[in-house]
Amino acid sequence: MENMYCLRCSRPIEAGQKSVAVYLFAQTVGIKPRQKSAAQRISFCPQCSVSLAMGPPPEGALNMAAWGMIRELVASDQSLNHAAWENLNEVQDSLLPTGTDSVRPSAQSGGYFEF
């Protein structure tokens, strides 16, 4: 089983963890023999999914297609928004108040905020 990462923020996504998976494969049409590529799986964590969906449309036809699908998921049910909110809460809990000196374990911070 391959290690998966959020395409946008590179946060690791473990098996069974809440995320959005976009599957992509290519297939020939009207050409014999019919050929089909292996499917690629692209993952987004809940925060990035919601953030992408709320944001402006991206450049590029493929990006637009993926954006449209993620928007559909985010718009149709609150559960993905809720998962993003839960994750954000966890990050919030691991942040130390301003002025605190103690060393925060890097594994917990994930290193996606650089100041």
Question: Which residues contribute to the site for Zn ion (CB under 5 A)?
Answer: 6, 8-9, 45, 48
SS3 assignment, position 6: strand
Give the Cα separation of 38 and 26 in Å (integer): 8
- Tell me how far, at minimum, the Cβ of 115 lies from Zn ion, in Å: 19
Give the Cα separation of 49 and 56 in Å (integer): 13
Give 5 or 105: the residue with its C-beta nearer to Zn ion: 5
- Tell me how far, at minimum, the Cβ of 60 lies from Zn ion, in Å: 19
Give 103 or 107: the residue with its C-beta nearer to Zn ion: 107
Q: What is the dihedral of CA 110, 7, 63, 55, to 10 degrees?
A: -20
Give the Cα separation of 73 and 20 in Å (integer): 9
Give the Cα separation of 43 and 12 in Å (integer): 10
Give 56 or 91: the residue with its C-beta nearer to Zn ion: 91
- List, in order, residues 6 or more apart from 108 with CB less than 8 Å away: 94
- Tell me how far, at minimum, the Cβ of 94 lies from Zn ion, in Å: 16
Give 25 or 112: the residue with its C-beta nearer to Zn ion: 112
- Tell me how far, at minimum, the Cβ of 83 lies from Zn ion, in Å: 12
